[in-house]
Amino acid sequence: MIRALLLASRPKTLPAAVAPVVAGSALAWRLAGGFSWGLAWCTLLSTIAIQVATNYFNDAVDARKGADTAARLGPLRATASGLVPPRIMLGAGGVMLLLAVLISLPMVAARGWPVVGIGVVSLFFTYGYTGGPVPLAYRGLGELFVLLFFGLVAVAGTVFVQTGEWRTESLLLGAQIGMLSTVLIAINNLRDRVEDAQSKKRTLAVRFGERFAKWEIAACCLGPYLLGLGWSRFGLGLGGWPAGGAMGLGLLVAWLVQATPPGRVYNKFLALSALHLVVWTGWMTWALVRSKG
């Protein structure tokens, strides 16, 4: 059971929770000249808990709606395969939400009601991503959800927790990380396009087709590098344009997706895109810390 729950947490996607907090903390260090490790750990752990809860709810709800079948090309889903009963999976999601709330209490004490507001909305959409009356993933809003909550909101919230300020720089950084995180869900949706169409899961790949989805992935892989030119406005110059290994990975992911029909091999592309996010975040974190002062 524990191994199945670890599988259902989808470890390969967790960089999407870690990256905005790490890079956002580095940006806060650059802006404020100070840093709270305690608040940083609270932000990181609560964000991870929210993503794991989202994955647990997604696993249970997709199984209930018939979105995960034996024909699935992606990794095994714990609920649909019978490894974990739906009520256990939903309960595990609830436990992770409770942990997220408890871990966030020091942030609320430090910054007050804005943190509560972000938390309430995030908790609501943790289940509302696939469940509830208007499930985002079934309406083609999954990519927008990731861009907003694992990009703009996560980075801006991290910077606010550290500095007590809402900064324009955090929106630029959040847009970059949000696009890179969106690649993960876009590859997942393109791989599962046929199965999703059969279960009436109207992702963007289902709505607009394979060609659109491939160009969407390419845009999200390479868009952050164009946005990076905007860091010159904030005195970072080309330090905000991570090249070398990071850009090479982005080009590789975009090219592989363009050249390959959707299939099980996309699971490798998903892992490669997670590596791209990690490498880019590492470079950007180094650039922000190095430019401090």
Measured between alpha carbons, how far is 85 from 80 in angstroms, rounded to an integer? 9
What pLDDT sits at residue 72? 56
- pLDDT of 130: 73
| Whole-number pLDDT of residue 162 | 95
* Exposure of 122 in the CB half-sphere (CA atoms within 13 A): 31
Residues 6+ apart with CB under 8 A from 265: none
CA angle 124, 81, 214 (to 5 degrees): 65
HSE-up (13 A, CA, CB side) for residue 261: 1
Locate 74 and state its tokens.
Answer: 């992606």
- What pLDDT, on the 0 to 100 scale, is given for residue 273? 94
Mean pLDDT by runs of 10 across the 293 residues of the chain is: 78 89 94 88 95 88 66 64 82 93 95 92 81 76 90 95 93 95 94 84 90 96 90 75 75 96 92 94 88 64
Q: In the prediction, which pLDDT does 26 show?
A: 93
The H-assigned helical ranges of 33-84 are 37-65
DSSP string of 129-178?
A: TTSSSS-GGGGT-HHHHHHIIIIIHHHHHHHHHHHS---HHHHHHHHHHH
Query: What is the residue extent of each domain of the chain?
Result: 2-290
Cα dist from 202 to 27, 158, 235, 261, whole Å: 36, 32, 42, 20
Q: How far is residue 186's CA from residue 210's CA, in Å, rounded to a whole number?
A: 11
Going by CATH, does the domain composed of 2-290 fall within 1.10.600? Answer: yes
pLDDT at 241: 64
Is the pTM for the entire model greater than 0.85?
Answer: yes
Helix axes 86-111 and 153-163, enclosed angle (nearest 10):
40
